[in-house]
Amino acid sequence: MTSMGNTTFEIVINTIKLLAVFLLMVQAVPILVWLERRGSAFIQNRFGPNRVGPLGLVQLLADAVKFLTKEDFAPEKGNRIMFYMAPVFALIPAAVAYAAIPMSVPLKVGDYTFLIQGYEINVGIVFILGISSLAAYTILMAGWGSGSKFSLMGALRASAQIISYELALGLSIVGIILLYGTFNLTEMIHAQQGIYHFSAFGYTVAASWLPNWGIFYQPLGMILFFSATFAESNRLPFDLAEGEAELVAGFHTEYGGFKMLMFFIGEYGHMMIASGLMATFFFGGYSIWNFTPQEVYNWCYGLVGSEQIANVMNVVLHFLSYNIKFAIFLWIFIHVRWTLPRFRYDQLMDLGWKTMLPWALGNTIVTAIVIFVTSYFVIS
């Protein structure tokens, strides 16, 4: 297990890093909840929580206290083990997958190089997809453990939806994988740095101001991927699993208090993974518009004149860049939730199997052909 580091120092730092990423994710959730509530109020032209603290920001703390102090109960007919296990398991896939997303350029401290991500794995995309597909279990466990037909129906719907959209999700990014020829997220971000340029038929095409982002090569893949992630994270307009008009609240009908909060964290975690992946696949990850990290570093160095500080500045700038993109997508998630109505179940399945899957397949084929043709035939 060399990925944890060779020396004690490295191992300690990496462990701390893992913890930090997890905490980062968990701590982002209350902010997102606040954002969602305020945002929905803004969209629906009302006030939202604005009494506790400035802008209602302390509402989060109040909420947390409320969740923690609520009575802990389990349904009598349910399966207690599964009922309690489900919320815990809801956290794991989200946290583990999120930790694999790189958030900034590596930090060089002396002889050590620290990646600003939980850990690096060579087949990052496959890994993240695999881990996040495990989310179906938690939902099924919750639905089964609750011993309620609403929960079970919601869970069955949700898991069917997740495995259906997983196909479209996986296929929609095959195009981008073909394009960059790697499963490694860091390498993918490397490929998207700088200005827009590519080579075809032996010629190199370059633009002066467009960034070299995936969206300009795979717009269809981007749309499909983003839509599929909505379904994967059970958000509107695909939140059939909750469907409060039909199923009370779906798989978490019987949950309350802290267990409910864990499901919340899981859901927001999925949102965050989706946003992070969107940024990584199609918007250059942590890279800054039109500039390579080396250029940014040189600029920093020119500004402060110290390698060490320039390094840190470089990392911070890229971290900011990543977070801006990340926040934009999170906001789109929230905005969509409060704007679009819910699909009917058969519409959902039609969309997944008969629309998105064929388009994703077509996108893959066309991409493969174009890549082959443009790289195979060289006009000298």
Instruction: Using CB under 8 A, list all residues that contact other proteins.
Output: 1, 121-123, 126-127, 129-131, 133-134, 136-137, 140-141, 143-144, 152, 155-156, 159-160, 162-163, 166, 170, 183, 345-346, 349
Segments of 228-309 assigned E as strands:
none
Contact 234, 161 (CB under 8 A): yes
Q: Would you say 152 or 360 has its CB closer to other proteins?
A: 152
Q: Would you say 12 or 126 has its CB closer to other proteins?
A: 126
Q: Minimum Å distance from CB 217 to other proteins?
A: 21
Summary count for the chain: helices (H), strands (E): 15, 4
What single DSSP character describes residue 342? Answer: P
Q: Would you say 93 or 293 has its CB closer to other proteins?
A: 93
Q: Is the dihedral of CA 206, 211, 217, 219 positive or negative?
A: negative
Segments of 274-371 assigned E as strands:
none
Q: Would you say 165 or 226 has its CB closer to other proteins?
A: 165
Q: Would you say 62 or 134 has its CB closer to other proteins?
A: 134
Contact 316, 103 (CB under 8 A): no
Q: Would you say 140 or 188 has its CB closer to other proteins?
A: 140
Query: How is residue 333 written in tokens?
Result: 């998630």
Query: How is residue 204 written in tokens?
Result: 């190199």
> Within a 10 A sphere around the Cβ of 2, how many other Cβ atoms?
6
Q: Minimum Å distance from CB 154 to other proteins?
A: 12
The torsion angles phi and psi of 239, rounded to 5 degrees, stand at -90, 50
Q: Minimum Å distance from CB 142 to other proteins?
A: 11
Segments of the chain assigned E as strands:
104-109, 112-116, 195-200, 203-211
Q: Would you say 137 or 301 has its CB closer to other proteins?
A: 137
Contact 347, 237 (CB under 8 A): no
For 233, residues 6+ apart whose C-beta sits below 8 A from its C-beta are 267, 270, 271, 273, 274, 333
Q: Rounded to an integer, what distance in angstroms lies between the CA atom of residue 173 and that of residue 196?
A: 20
Q: Minimum Å distance from CB 350 to other proteins?
A: 9
Q: Minimum Å distance from CB 335 to other proteins?
A: 29
Q: Minimum Å distance from CB 126 to other proteins?
A: 3
Q: Minimum Å distance from CB 267 to other proteins?
A: 18
CA neighbor of 253 nearest in space, from 142, 140, 156: 142
* 327 to 27, 86, 105, 136, 373: CA distances (angstroms): 14, 28, 19, 26, 38
Q: Would you say 169 or 272 has its CB closer to other proteins?
A: 169
Q: Would you say 92 or 200 has its CB closer to other proteins?
A: 92
Q: Would you say 104 or 229 has its CB closer to other proteins?
A: 229
Query: How is residue 329 written in tokens?
Result: 């997508």
Q: Minimum Å distance from CB 133 to other proteins?
A: 3
What single DSSP character describes residue 253? Answer: T
Q: Minimum Å distance from CB 14 to other proteins?
A: 14
Q: Minimum Å distance from CB 340 to other proteins?
A: 22
